[in-house]
């Protein structure tokens, strides 16, 4: 990566982390782009050269986590297989590492964006799958179950290890169990 591209990325990261800091103190609608740009030390014009909106800032931040910390497999220069236990373990480790930010984003109304980023990452890591394939819905079952379990786990203080959470999700997805009468049977 050349110096100019590296500088561009540093500015994008600075804006993203500044926005997270502001979100810890204020609701997203109370934060203007002007305020965000000023706090990040960039002009409003520079902000709009990097992002189209505050939503795009969060999408950039979450996409980076999901790609680089969860899906990307540096050993083979590609994505991990979504069905590997390591993928789930990396997902829960990343969410735990970014717990404060993830909970802040959830509390500030960005839950649907996180789920969209998880879905997109799972689609990429799931490999080629026909749009007509009923099995592709397994990606969305996995994303929804993982997303909901992750939120409760984060809010409960991450008592279980990421490995335990990944194994529980894997067991659930592979068991074919149905929820009856409010509990798994």
pLDDT at 123: 85
Closest CA to 49 of 13, 12, 19: 12
Secondary structure of the chain in the HEC alphabet? CCHHHHHHHHHHHHHHHHHHHHHCCCCHHHCCHHHHHHHHCCCHHHHHHHCCCHHHHHHHHHHHHHHHHHHEECCCCEECCCCCHHHHHHHHHHHHHCHHHHHHHHHCCCHHHHHHHHHHHHHHHHCCCCCCCHHHHHHHHHHHHHHHHHHHHHHCCCCCCHHHHHHHHHHHHHHCCCEECCEEC
Residues of the chain with pLDDT under 50: 177-185
pLDDT at 176: 56
pLDDT at 182: 43
Residue 55 to residues 16, 41, 143, Cα–Cα distance (Å): 10, 19, 21
The 10 Å CB-count burial string (b at 16+, else e) for 27-66 is ebeebebeebbeebebeeeebeebbeebebbbbbbbbebb
pTM for the whole structure: 0.88
């Amino acid at each position: 990566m050349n110096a100019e591209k590296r500088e561009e990325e540093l500015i994008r990261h600075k804006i993203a982390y500044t926005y997270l800091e502001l979100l810890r103190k204020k609701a997203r609608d109370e934060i203007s782009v002007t305020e965000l740009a000023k706090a990040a030390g960039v002009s409003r014009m520079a902000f709009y050269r990097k992002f189209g909106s505050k939503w795009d800032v969060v999408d950039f931040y979450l996409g980076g986590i999901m790609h680089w910390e969860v899906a990307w497999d540096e050993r083979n220069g590609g994505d991990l297989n979504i069905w590997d236990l390591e993928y789930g373990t990396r997902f829960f480790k990343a969410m735990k590492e970014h717990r404060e930010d993830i909970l802040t984003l959830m509390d500030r109304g960005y839950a649907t964006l996180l789920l969209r980023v998880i879905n997109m990452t799972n689609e990429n890591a799931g490999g080629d799958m026909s749009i007509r394939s009923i099995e592709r819905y397994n990606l969305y079952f996995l994303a929804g179950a993982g997303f909901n379990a992750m939120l409760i786990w984060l809010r409960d203080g991450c008592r279980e290890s990421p490995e335990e959470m990944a194994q529980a999700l894997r067991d659930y997805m592979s068991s074919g169990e149905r929820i009856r009468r409010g509990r798994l049977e």
